[in-house]
Amino acid sequence: MSLLVLRAGPSVLVQDLGRPGHASVGVTASGAADRAAAATALRAVGTDPAAAVLEVLLGGLTVQTDSPAVVAVTGAVGVVVVVTPSGSRRTAATGEVLRLDAGARLEIGTPDAGLRSYLAVRGGLDVAPVLGSRSRDTLAGLGPAPIVAGDRLDVGDRVVGPWADGWHPAASGGARGGGVGKAGVELDIIPGPRDDLFPGEAWDVLAATGHVSGHADRVGVRIDPARPVPRLSRAEIPSEGMVRGAVQIPADGAPVVFGPDHPVTGGYPVIGVLTARSADRISQLLPGTPVRLRRLRGVAD
């Protein structure tokens, strides 16, 4: 069984849980940018949570099956269309589990909310792993090449249970990607390891409303703050190991939040690290989205 890619959008990548454990040789973990959305898609189609999915940036993907398939699209909220072999079209909800006939097409349109959609097929995508993972690391250039029109993707047999027949996002908390209120998106941050290099005022700045800048990708997201985040010293520090969700404060005071393909070291002080849920959430935020960072009290006071 396989999927034929008829059309690919600006960025379509194969992703899984990533390749942790290789930082000592300069390789970051990578993996799905919105881990919760990818996990939901795999769970909905009864597939191993470590299997591979497609991460689709800003839609624009069309695939065709050569055999009956069960699929789910999660993450960014938008239009999903199923085209039967006879040519009839049906609009589906993001998050809905879909049964496709052989020869059917699945179209993922431009999202109404959010950036990244996740397409899971029952059995998982069967592509060659690199260092134990099928994830594409955009910074290092590791893993499967970006997907383009004409690619044929084999489907594996990593089935672990039944698919969620009749499952609908309305019954399961909805799809991810929306919900930006007037006050903006609030992201939780755990202080440290270098919060001692910042005055208390720095937390007030982070808690004020900034905006996601246009400098955002899988490596990191730059935030345009309400005003520059102050530091006790403008000097760089010796390079230290970095993790996903780390919030670095460069000398210009504009926070940079590391994504899944972040460098393994950095020389700017890290005032804190986003929680796993918030690290997922920031991967779905469009440039210009108002955002605030909320310090978790009692974690490292």
Min mean pLDDT across 54-58, 78-82, 163-167, 199-203 is at 163-167
pLDDT band for 183, please (50, 70, 90 cuts): low
pLDDT digits (tens, 9 = 90+) for 40-66: 999 999 999 999 999 999 999 999 999
Asked if 117 contacts 73 with a C-beta cutoff of 8 angstroms, the reply is yes
Spatial distance between the Cα atoms of 251 and 269, rounded to a whole number of angstroms: 9
Instruction: Give the per-residue pLDDT at 172.
Output: 41
Instruction: Give the per-residue pLDDT at 169.
Output: 59
Average the pLDDT over 160-170 and give the result.
74
Q: Is the pLDDT at 84 greater than 70, yes or no?
A: yes
C-alpha to C-alpha distances, 55 to 21, 42, 125, 241, 258, nearest whole angstrom: 22, 12, 12, 27, 18
| Residues 274-277: contacts with CB under 8 Å, at least 24 apart | 274/187, 274/188, 274/189, 274/190, 274/245, 274/246, 274/247, 275/188, 275/189, 275/190, 275/245, 276/35, 276/245, 277/36, 277/188
Asked if 147 contacts 56 with a C-beta cutoff of 8 angstroms, the reply is no
Instruction: Give the per-residue pLDDT at 72.
Output: 97
Q: Is the pLDDT at 283 greater than 80, yes or no?
A: yes
Spatial distance between the Cα atoms of 82 and 63, rounded to a whole number of angstroms: 10
pLDDT digits (tens, 9 = 90+) for 96-107: 999 999 999 999
Helix runs in the chain, H state only: 35-44, 201-207, 276-282
Burial of 2 (0-12, 13-18, 19+ CB in 10 A): middle
Spatial distance between the Cα atoms of 139 and 218, rounded to a whole number of angstroms: 8
Spatial distance between the Cα atoms of 142 and 127, rounded to a whole number of angstroms: 13
pLDDT digits (tens, 9 = 90+) for 231-269: 998 887 899 999 999 999 999 999 999 999 999 999 999
pLDDT digits (tens, 9 = 90+) for 189-234: 999 999 999 999 999 999 999 999 999 999 999 999 999 999 998 8
Average the pLDDT over 115-119 and give the result.
98
What count of residues does the chain have? 301
Burial 233-254 (b: 16+ CB within 10 A, else e): eeeeeeeeebbbbbbbbbeeeb
pLDDT band for 297, please (50, 70, 90 cuts): confident
Spatial distance between the Cα atoms of 169 and 143, rounded to a whole number of angstroms: 31
Average the pLDDT over 58-77 and give the result.
97
Q: Is the pLDDT at 158 greater than 70, yes or no?
A: yes
Average pLDDT, the chain: 93
Instruction: Give the per-residue pLDDT at 301.
Output: 42
pLDDT band for 67, please (50, 70, 90 cuts): very high
Q: E-assigned strands of 202-287?
A: 210-216, 220-224, 240-241, 246-248, 256-258, 265-266, 270-274
pLDDT band for 23, please (50, 70, 90 cuts): very high
Instruction: Give the per-residue pLDDT at 168.
Output: 61
Asked if 258 contacts 242 with a C-beta cutoff of 8 angstroms, the reply is yes
Q: Is the pLDDT at 300 greater than 50, yes or no?
A: no
Q: Is the pLDDT at 159 greater than 60, yes or no?
A: yes
Q: Which residues contact 173 (CB under 8 A, 6 or more apart)?
A: none
Asked if 119 contacts 56 with a C-beta cutoff of 8 angstroms, the reply is yes
Instruction: Give the per-residue pLDDT at 175.
Output: 43
Instruction: Give just the sign of the alpha carbon dihedral 108, 111, 116, 122.
Output: negative
